[in-house]
Structure 1
Amino acid sequence: MTEINKADASHQLRLIVPDPDLPGEKLRESRRVASLDIFRGLTVALMILVDDAGGERPMIGHAPWNGCNLADFVMPFFLFIVGMAIPLAFKRIPDKPRAIWKVIFRTIKLLFWGVLLQGGYSHAPDKLTYGVDMRMIRWCGILQRIALAYLVVALIEILTKDGQARDVSRNWFSVFKMYWCHWMFAACVIIVYSAVLYGSYVPDWEFAVTDTESVNYGKIYKVACGTRGKLDPPCNAAGYVDRTVLGINHMYQHPAWKRSKDCTLNSPYEGPFRDDAPKWCFAPFEPEGILSSISAILSTIIGLHSGHVLVHFKNHTARLMQWVLMGLSLLILGIILCFTHAIPLNKQLYTFSYVCVTAGAAALLFSAFYVLVDIWNLKIPFLPLKWIGMNAMLVYVMAAEGIFAGFINGWYYKDPHNTLVHWIQKHVFIGVWRSRRVGILLYVIFAEILFWAIVAGVLHRFGIHWKL
């Protein structure tokens, strides 16, 4: 994964950092920015946690609609990281056509893996079957969104780069002025996104229930909209754009909104639908859709700015002032927009308030890692996260996407239900109270993350990395 695995295999994430205790030091030490690897590893670990435990603890999983739970920070963190890695990879661009080709090639690989892993081809670990009905393939997904954001922001960086990395003053606006065209592009993204989201007319629409396990399979329902500017689940412009461009059959069939109070009495947990549940509860919705992916580019641009701060400022204090002030400003702005009901926090629509809150949190969290790891040199406690971050695509595919779990679950004795996974469920989870079950589950997830950290560390020790 590009944003996880650095922007280029031939570019190590290294900076020339002066010794803060020797202001007049001319010789500079080249060293890796370990905090970025650790932040990347933490994000992958969070993805494993929310995928495995989100169903047991709603505050861990995605918010059904408005709101921001732990899982809702994962995607923006990924996008922030990919943006931050771009200036480090392209500090010097001697050959722009070659750099552009690398970006395009890497984007194609991300799209390929995204469709393969999330398009419906792999049904592991539950069904242990492979293959996809092309009438129902899902075109969008996590890697596809990352690919789009990476392609756009990396091309902007390459095409606007003057070829020389320059030191800048401590002035707060110095980096903004140097890269003003990037922020002009970000403003255009906000304008286009807002114009479509609030200005598009959303007509009535209909759909057929495609879930073969549903009692309503095959039924056709109609949803009444005929409005514009709404941000509710059935009548928002983001869903309208995806239904029109992608086709409703190619959208995500199990959106988080099915856990909302309108749909189920068990909200925010999953459960059977209410008798009076609106028809749109049965419909698909694409959380990584076209319009929301355009807005998601903003998270990458904010990460790009943080990477520029890392490149151009050579003093720890100056860097931290830039990151912390930007992070706090974004966080406060997002909270104000949310609590004044101007713009709700919504991951499904990737609203501007959601961009501000999550990007601000990413900047502050990275600043904390930078202090602990790159300034205070406390690297040993974070080694597992660092190992994951340096071999993150392997962990993402095997753990977060469940490929390894599917492999393990595919071995059974006599009965297909006599597998390791079913044994654990039968002897550990069945009959256990929810509170105890959650505790046991968290121990299992922690062991899983530690296992993959050790695997990634061993592979790194032998110089083996899964980079796309």
Structure 2
Amino acid sequence: MEEIKADTTDHHHRLDVSEEKPPLLLTTSKPKRVASLDIFRGLTVVLMILVDDAGGQWPVIGHAPWNGCNLADFVMPFFLFIVGMAVPLALKRMASKHMAVKKVIIRTFKLLFWGVLLQGGFSHAPDELTYGVDMKHIRWCGILQRIALAYLVVSLVEIFSRDAEAKDLATSQFSILKLYSWHWLVGAIVLIVYFAILYAAYVPDWKFIVHDKDSVAYGKTFTVACGVRGKLDPPCNAVGYIDREVLGINHMYKRPAWRRSEACNENSPYQGPFRKDAPSWCYAPFEPEGILSSISAILSSIIGVHFGHVLVHLKDHSSRLKHWLSMGFVLLIVGILLHFTHAIPLNKQLYTFSYVCVTSGAAALVFSAFYIMVDIWGFKYLFMPLKWIGMNAMFVYVMAAAGIFAGFINGWYYGDPHNTLIYWIKKHIFINVWHSTRVGILLYVIFAEILFWAIVAGILHRLGIYWKL
């Protein structure tokens, strides 16, 4: 199972993915666990913690304010890719379609529940020692909700298109594509719907009231002039328009990454005060895991499903790697060309097609690298901490990425809420020793968070304790 989160300054990246049982590497002898998939999952959780807790000090690893692709922008699609890849492996063991559908639906509701609970606003960990949420402003969308949608779609398509899978397929990537043509048909429908709405929907003028109590514009009403179609800029895109109309602007993420853009922020790309001439949309909410962008995100999981099919049907390492690497490079090249020819920009907030291609291609190449090093060369022990985290990803996500453990520790303070063990360790062992907030925070995240939770996950693994959805 797994999860995800993202940025320090932009807490909109949290994600979790789950699978029923450990994935199996199909061989002619006794089936073995695909260690590289666990390790890739663990790496993604680690990236989530890193970019969320150190991204504010290191903008290059945080989310791109709008167009572009920084390290944090790979986290969400990596999880979706892993979700898709795990689906054929998990559902292969379920002979009954009825039972498979039941398990998929139950797991989908679990993901939705945890998503709303952790990202909807109920928990204010780790810094605000409060809990509870105003239902007038609850955030309905989030990482886990996006994963739930992608997981539900690709799983149901997989379940109802498995009859042909009984055949021992062979050798050609084209034959695998043909065998699972329903997946690609669904992918084509998703892309057509996304493009049709993104470029054809009329976006009218809109207004909003600033509800962020920390904002200097709190309580003010702003109007944003649009009246256009097909725009991909921050204020007038169809992605934001659909969310405002369906979700309601009060239920969207109130601190989007665009606040750090040059148009808005004096310290861009760092977090800082708004420019005096900042346009009105800089103060507005925007949902980075919204409705239309989540529809596009299904494509990342569909691509992952294909990689899982290759793993299921092809029996030798060279054939698998040939398909994975060729498709990964093609996706990467297509996405880069679309971006640099200005046809379709890379944009995580809109989940553009070029972004799908680049991040899915990168996921394919990273997984292939792990597969070579771990499942072929046998360097499993070198990546053991990542494997432990990947095998207990939900636990690490909730405790570390969602900040529940840090919130609990911060609840025990002496005299002042900032006088806690976590603040003391961060300040005296890391920041003061290195005489640098940026370096100190980075090392704190690496050693006091990532390494700490890798050890905890390793202990739980030895005890056979796992948290799965």
1:14 aligned residue: 24
Q: Is the 8 A contact 1:91 1:165 kept in 2?
A: no
1:155 aligned residue: 156
1:108 aligned residue: 109
After superposition, residues 15-414 of structure 1 pair within 5 angstroms as 15-18=25-28, 28-162=29-163, 164-414=165-415
**1:329 and 1:229, CA in 2 relative to 1: closer, same or farther beyond 3 A?**
same
- How many Å apart are 1:430 and its aligned residue? 6.7
In structure 2, how many angstroms separate the alpha carbons of the residues matched to 1:452 and 1:230? 43
Equivalent residue of 1:418, what SS? strand
Q: Is the 8 A contact 1:66 1:344 kept in 2?
A: yes
For 2:27, give the aligned amino acid: V
In structure 2, how many angstroms separate the alpha carbons of the residues matched to 1:426 and 1:463? 35
- Tell me the alpha carbon deviations over residues 373-413 of structure 1, each in whole angstroms, 9 at most, x when there is no partner: 00011001100000000000000011011111111111112
Q: Structure 1 stretches (4+) deviating beyond 4 angstroms? A: 1-6, 428-434
Equivalent residue of 1:416, what SS? strand
1:444 and 2:444 equivalent?
Answer: yes
In structure 2, how many angstroms separate the alpha carbons of the residues matched to 1:16 and 1:429? 46
- How many Å apart are 1:50 and its aligned residue? 0.2
Equivalent residue of 1:399, what SS? helix
**1:319 and 1:235, CA in 2 relative to 1: closer, same or farther beyond 3 A?**
same
Equivalent residue of 2:121, what SS? coil
Q: Is the 8 A contact 1:115 1:138 kept in 2?
A: yes
- How many Å apart are 1:433 and its aligned residue? 8.3
**1:5 and 1:76, CA in 2 relative to 1: closer, same or farther beyond 3 A?**
closer
- Tell me the alpha carbon deviations over residues 303-347 of structure 1, each in whole angstroms, 9 at most, x when there is no partner: 000000000000100000000000000000000000000000000
In structure 2, how many angstroms separate the alpha carbons of the residues matched to 1:381 and 1:34? 12
For 1:7, give the aligned amino acid: E
Q: Is the 8 A contact 1:209 1:217 kept in 2?
A: yes
2:8 aligned residue: none
- How many Å apart are 1:214 and its aligned residue? 1.8
**1:198 and 1:5, CA in 2 relative to 1: closer, same or farther beyond 3 A?**
closer
In structure 2, how many angstroms separate the alpha carbons of the residues matched to 1:235 and 1:33? 44
Q: Is the 8 A contact 2:426 2:444 kept in 1?
A: no
TM-score where L is the length of structure 2: 0.94
Which runs of 5 or more structure 2 residues have no equivalent in the other structure?
Answer: 4-15
**1:110 and 1:72, CA in 2 relative to 1: closer, same or farther beyond 3 A?**
same
- Tell me the alpha carbon deviations over residues 396-452 of structure 1, each in whole angstroms, 9 at most, x when there is no partner: 011011111111111112333321233245546777888x33222222112121111
- How many Å apart are 1:92 and its aligned residue? 4.4
- How many Å apart are 1:124 and its aligned residue? 0.9
Q: Is the 8 A contact 1:166 1:312 kept in 2?
A: no
In structure 1, how many angstroms separate the alpha carbons of the residues matched to 2:344 and 2:281? 23
Give the total of aligned pairs: 456
Equivalent residue of 1:253, what SS? coil
In structure 2, how many angstroms separate the alpha carbons of the residues matched to 1:325 and 1:272? 46
- How many Å apart are 1:5 and its aligned residue? 5.8
Q: Is the 8 A contact 1:43 1:78 kept in 2?
A: yes
Q: Is the 8 A contact 1:125 1:409 kept in 2?
A: yes
Q: Is the 8 A contact 1:41 1:390 kept in 2?
A: yes
TM-score where L is the length of structure 1: 0.95
In structure 2, how many angstroms separate the alpha carbons of the residues matched to 1:440 and 1:267? 21
- How many Å apart are 1:163 and its aligned residue? 6.7
Q: Is the 8 A contact 2:88 2:309 kept in 1?
A: yes
For 1:60, give the aligned amino acid: I
In structure 1, how many angstroms separate the alpha carbons of the residues matched to 2:114 and 2:195? 30
In structure 1, how many angstroms separate the alpha carbons of the residues matched to 2:173 and 2:88? 19
Which runs of 5 or more structure 1 residues have no equivalent in the other structure?
Answer: 19-27
The range that moved more, 223-232 or 164-173, is 164-173
Equivalent residue of 1:17, what SS? coil
In structure 1, how many angstroms separate the alpha carbons of the residues matched to 2:357 and 2:212? 36
**1:326 and 1:164, CA in 2 relative to 1: closer, same or farther beyond 3 A?**
closer
Q: Is the 8 A contact 2:430 2:443 kept in 1?
A: no
For 2:414, give the aligned amino acid: Y
2:12 aligned residue: none
Identity, % of aligned positions = 70
In structure 1, how many angstroms separate the alpha carbons of the residues matched to 2:248 and 2:387? 40
- How many Å apart are 1:273 and its aligned residue? 0.4
- Tell me the alpha carbon deviations over residues 176-215 of structure 1, each in whole angstroms, 9 at most, x when there is no partner: 0111111011011110000000000000000000011222
Q: Is the 8 A contact 2:205 2:225 kept in 1?
A: yes
